[in-house]
């Protein structure tokens, strides 16, 4: 009974909100990996009304974009079987494939029954067979789910295809601009605007459970930090001190926000307890201290500071104490974000040639520059640590890009109109 | 992750309820732990995600040069008061020598018009990280504020706000655009 109620509520709510189509979105692989594993996702056989989502394309794009796989283009396939007994593995061996997947999707009056099989091409072994059901408008989600299953089966790591991202877009409107905070699937599809304003919106940050987003809005002509619950749209202002209210970051337990305030002089890092609204000041002095983020265990806070003259990253105990400098290469290292396991740190690194995304291995402190742009910003890790999402400006157009943490693979999510910035990958 | 899977989970649960058999049916060597995660995902539905629209301000009009009735000296190109934008070097919040007379002229005017308010809005070019640029923009506007305060302008006449790189006046991506975007605007209210 309980279950049935929940399903009905879900169905009704889903019906009320139409899913925006990402009509203006193109996904382009800008740098491919040489060592990727070849895999063929055969177009799924279709029965009934399916709409315009092609599952095999979504899965191929997910797996190809991960850097671990190279998806065989459909045009190169010699046969397109959809049932296990019809697969001739020699057809796939001659194409140099290691793995292949086949499937079927049956449209069933608003819902879809999907099944798929994954094979090792070399020995014909069935690695995985699944049947699943997706509701209306959920075919892309189902495809991402299949991508996750295949990815985890073959790499041993959890996939991150069925995740979401938040980002800020802006479009010209009259003499000014309209800023929109949007949440979309990790591949940029199904964008939804969760807040908009003619004044800037900045710095979206996810709560650890993915239910809320903290962000900065200037809609009162001053900066203010808001926390908005995604399910209800309900939002509240949590920080509106004089001066800067910026750079919110949820603590791993979700109870506090690390923020930047300048009410006491220069920009400093504070911790705001969301329950009691009490503030703890963590940094002081004349320097710029900003862009705080928590280590995944909650014990430390990393932030950007120019206390040494140029912006560099520093780490300090979350309860206060002495900060120690973390970055030493280059004269600009800012906006650090940890991977979920805390082993890697993504940052914006600047030197003569511009601003690029780099990842530091925390154990060895070695830094690997991942990107080649000159205006790359706002890195954030995929929940599984395999990719870094960032905002890039290439040829005067801003776009979101994803790069694998080894730098081998880069994929661009381009939006047709307006600017898109400040992406944040949901936990 | 949890969020996105849930809809599928809900749909799967529906089959479970109506037909009494699992829809996530393993046929081969499927990893059972993967299967388990789906069935156990708790109900959460992004179909219910709601948006919010912030209005376009609350009546009071801010922004440089708008909203105030200013004398002819502000439009005389030979008068330093006609200059209401102060430009900065890269990564610097120091008021350059050439703008010292401009700031001083505005300070003199404000000191002699104690009911006049200005907003000093600080801006940065697009390079580097957004929140660091917010800090940089504020330091620029606070430099101007300090100079004005030292010349007799009262604190209540001045308001400082930083927009960082969010409001460029020139949208290009080269040094000439960046130069024009590293600025403090003196906005009479």
* Portions of chain A given CATH number 2.120.10.30: 164-425
Per-residue pLDDT at A393? 81
Q: How open is the CA angle B86-B92-B93, to the nearest 5 degrees? A: 55
Interface test with B, best of A116, A142, A231, A285 (most B CBs within 10 A): A231
Q: Say which of B44, B138, B167 has its CB closest to residue A262.
A: B138
Q: Are B28 and A129 in contact (CB < 8 Å)?
A: yes
Residues 96-125 of B with CB under 8 A from A: none
Show residues of chain A in contact with B57, CB under 8 Å: 198-199, 219-221
> How far does Cα A401 stand from its chain's mean position?
10
The CA distance from A409 to A36, in Å, is: 9
- Alpha helices of B113-157 — where are they, by DSSP H? 130-150
Show residues of chain B in contact with A221, CB under 8 Å: 57, 60, 62, 161
Per-residue pLDDT at B71? 87
For A318-363, the pLDDT digits (tens) are: 999 999 999 999 999 999 999 999 999 999 999 777 899 999 999 9
Q: Does pLDDT of A239 surpass 50?
A: yes
Per-residue pLDDT at A381? 97
Q: Does the beta carbon of B89 lie under 8 angstroms from any beta carbon of chain A?
A: no
Q: Which residue has the tokens 């495809």?
A: A143
Per-residue pLDDT at B182? 97
Q: Are A375 and B126 in contact (CB < 8 Å)?
A: yes
Q: Does pLDDT of A191 surpass 60?
A: yes
Q: Are B1 and A160 in contact (CB < 8 Å)?
A: yes
Q: Does pLDDT of A137 surpass 70?
A: yes
Report the gap between the CA of B130 and the closest CA in chain A (Å). Answer: 8
Architecture of the domain defined by A164-425 = 6 Propeller (2.120)
**CA-CA-CA-CA dihedral for A4, A9, A10, A11, to nearest 10:** 90
Q: Does the beta carbon of A204 lie under 8 angstroms from any beta carbon of chain B?
A: no
Q: Are B45 and A131 in contact (CB < 8 Å)?
A: no
**Contact by Cβ (8 Å): A350, B101:** no
For A192-218, the pLDDT digits (tens) are: 999 999 999 999 999 999 999 999 999
Q: At what angle do helices A139-155 and B32-40 cross, to 10 degrees?
A: 140
Whole-structure pTM value: 0.84
Of A58-62, A302-306, A341-345, B12-16, the range with the lowest mean pLDDT is B12-16
Q: Are B128 and A348 in contact (CB < 8 Å)?
A: yes
Architecture of the domain defined by B72-188 = 2-Layer Sandwich (3.30)
Show residues of chain A in contact with B62, CB under 8 Å: 221
Q: Does pLDDT of A185 surpass 90?
A: yes
Q: Does the beta carbon of A111 lie under 8 angstroms from any beta carbon of chain B?
A: yes
The CA distance from A266 to A243, in Å, is: 9
Q: Say which of B10, B23, B54 has its CB closest to residue A196.
A: B54
Per-residue pLDDT at B107? 97
Show residues of chain B in contact with A131, CB under 8 Å: 23-25, 27
Q: Does pLDDT of A3 surpass 70?
A: no
Structure tokens at A338: 């940890």
Per-residue pLDDT at A409? 84
The CA distance from A413 to A182, in Å, is: 14
Question: Which of these, B97, B108, B139, B103, lies nearest to B121 by C-alpha position?
Answer: B139
Per-residue pLDDT at B98? 96
Per-residue pLDDT at A130? 93
What DSSP line would sit under A327-389, residue for residue?
Answer: --SSSEEEEEEE-TTSSEEEEEEEETTEEEEEEEETTT--EEE----SB-EEEEE-TTSSEEE
Domain locations along chain B: 2-46, 72-188
Q: Does pLDDT of B56 surpass 80?
A: no
The CA distance from A291 to A202, in Å, is: 12
What average pLDDT does the segment A238-244 reach? 97
Burial class (CB in 10 A: 0-12, 13-18, 19+), B61: exposed
Q: Are A200 and B128 in contact (CB < 8 Å)?
A: no
Q: Does the beta carbon of A383 lie under 8 angstroms from any beta carbon of chain B?
A: yes
For A19-57, the pLDDT digits (tens) are: 333 445 666 767 766 778 999 999 999 998 777 889 999
Q: Does the beta carbon of A237 lie under 8 angstroms from any beta carbon of chain B?
A: no
Residues 6+ apart with CB under 8 A from B103: B86, B95, B144, B147, B148
Q: Does pLDDT of B23 surpass 90?
A: no
Helix, strand, coil shares of chain B, percent, nearest 5, are 45, 15, 45
The full length of chain A comes to: 427
pLDDT band at B53 (very low <50, low <70, confident <90, very high): low
Of A69-78, A138-147, B67-76, B152-161, the range with the lowest mean pLDDT is B67-76
Show residues of chain B in contact with A149, CB under 8 Å: 30-31, 34
pLDDT band at B171 (very low <50, low <70, confident <90, very high): confident
Q: Average pLDDT over chain A, rounded to whole?
A: 90
Residues 6+ apart with CB under 8 A from B96: B86, B87, B88, B89
For A273-296, the pLDDT digits (tens) are: 999 999 999 999 999 999 999 999
pLDDT band at A416 (very low <50, low <70, confident <90, very high): low
The CA distance from B188 to A6, in Å, is: 56
Q: Does the beta carbon of A136 lie under 8 angstroms from any beta carbon of chain B?
A: no
Architecture of the domain defined by A23-155 = 3-Layer(aba) Sandwich (3.40)
Q: Does the beta carbon of A219 lie under 8 angstroms from any beta carbon of chain B?
A: yes
Per-residue pLDDT at A172? 86
Q: Are B8 and A134 in contact (CB < 8 Å)?
A: yes
Interface test with A, best of B52, B142, B173 (most A CBs within 10 A): B52
């Amino acid at each position: 009974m309980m279950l049935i109620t929940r399903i009905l509520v879900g169905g009704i709510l889903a019906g009320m909100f139409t899913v925006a189509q990402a009509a203006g979105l193109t996904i382009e692989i800008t740098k491919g990996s040489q060592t990727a594993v070849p895999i063929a996702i055969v177009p799924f056989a279709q029965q009934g009304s399916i709409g315009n989502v092609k599952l095999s394309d979504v899965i191929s794009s997910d797996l190809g974009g991960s850097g671990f796989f190279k998806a065989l283009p459909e045009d190169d396939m010699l046969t397109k079987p959809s049932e296990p007994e019809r697969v001739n593995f020699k057809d796939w061996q001659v194409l140099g494939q290691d793995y292949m997947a086949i499937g079927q999707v049956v449209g069933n009056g608003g819902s879809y029954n999907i099944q798929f099989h994954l094979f090792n091409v070399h020995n014909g072994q069935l690695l995985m067979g699944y049947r699943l059901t997706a509701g209306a408008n959920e075919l892309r989600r189902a495809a991402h789910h299949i991508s996750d299953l295949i990815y985890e089966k073959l790499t041993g790591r959890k996939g991150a295809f069925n995740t979401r991202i938040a980002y800020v877009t802006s479009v010209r409107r009259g003499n000014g601009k309209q800023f929109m905070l949007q949440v979309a699937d990790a591949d940029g599809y199904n964008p939804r605007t969760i807040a908009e304003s003619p004044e800037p919106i900045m710095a979206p940050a996810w709560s650890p459970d993915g239910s809320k987003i903290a962000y900065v809005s200037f809609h009162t002509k001053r900066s203010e930090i808001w926390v908005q619950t995604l399910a209800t749209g309900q939002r509240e202002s949590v920080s509106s001190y004089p001066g800067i209210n910026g750079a919110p970051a949820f603590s791993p337990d979700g109870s506090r926000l690390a923020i930047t305030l300048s009410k006491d002089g220069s920009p400093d890092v504070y911790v705001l307890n969301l329950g009691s609204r009490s503030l703890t000041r963590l940094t002081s002095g004349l320097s710029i201290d900003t862009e705080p983020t928590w280590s995944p265990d909650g014990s430390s806070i990393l932030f950007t500071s120019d206390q040494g003259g140029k912006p560099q990253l520093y780490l300090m105990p979350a309860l206060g104490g002495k900060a120690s400098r973390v970055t030493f290469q280059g004269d600009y290292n800012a906006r650090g974000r940890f991977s979920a396991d805390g082993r890697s740190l993504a940052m914006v690194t600047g030197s003569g040639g511009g601003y690029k995304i780099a990842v530091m291995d925390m154990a060895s402190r070695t830094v690997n520059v991942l990107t080649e742009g000159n205006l790359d910003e706002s890195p954030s890790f995929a929940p599984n640590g395999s990719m870094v999402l960032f905002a890039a400006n290439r040829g005067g157009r801003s776009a979101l890009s994803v790069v694998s943490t080894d730098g081998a693979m880069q994929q661009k999510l381009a939006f047709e109109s307006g600017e898109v910035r400040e992406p944040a990958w949901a936990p | 992750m949890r969020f996105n899977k849930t809809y599928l989970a809900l749909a799967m649960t529906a089959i479970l309820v109506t037909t009494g058999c699992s829809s996530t049916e393993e046929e081969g060597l499927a990893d059972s732990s993967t299967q388990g995660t789906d069935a156990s995902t708790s109900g959460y539905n992004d179909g219910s995600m709601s948006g919010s629209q912030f209005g376009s301000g609350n009546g009071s009009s801010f922004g440089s040069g708008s909203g105030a009735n200013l004398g002819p000296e502000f439009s005389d190109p030979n008068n330093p008061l006609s200059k209401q934008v102060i430009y900065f070097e890269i990564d610097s919040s120091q008021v350059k020598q050439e703008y010292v007379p401009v700031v001083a002229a505005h300070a003199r005017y404000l000191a002699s018009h104690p009911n006049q308010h200005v907003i000093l809005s600080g801006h940065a070019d697009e390079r580097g990280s957004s929140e660091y640029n917010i800090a940089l923009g504020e330091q620029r506007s606070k430099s101007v504020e300090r100079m004005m305060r030292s010349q007799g302008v009262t604190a209540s006449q001045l308001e400082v706000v930083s927009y960082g790189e969010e409001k460029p006046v020139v949208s290009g991506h080269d040094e000439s655009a960046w130069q024009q975007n590293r600025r403090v605007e003196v906005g009479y209210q």
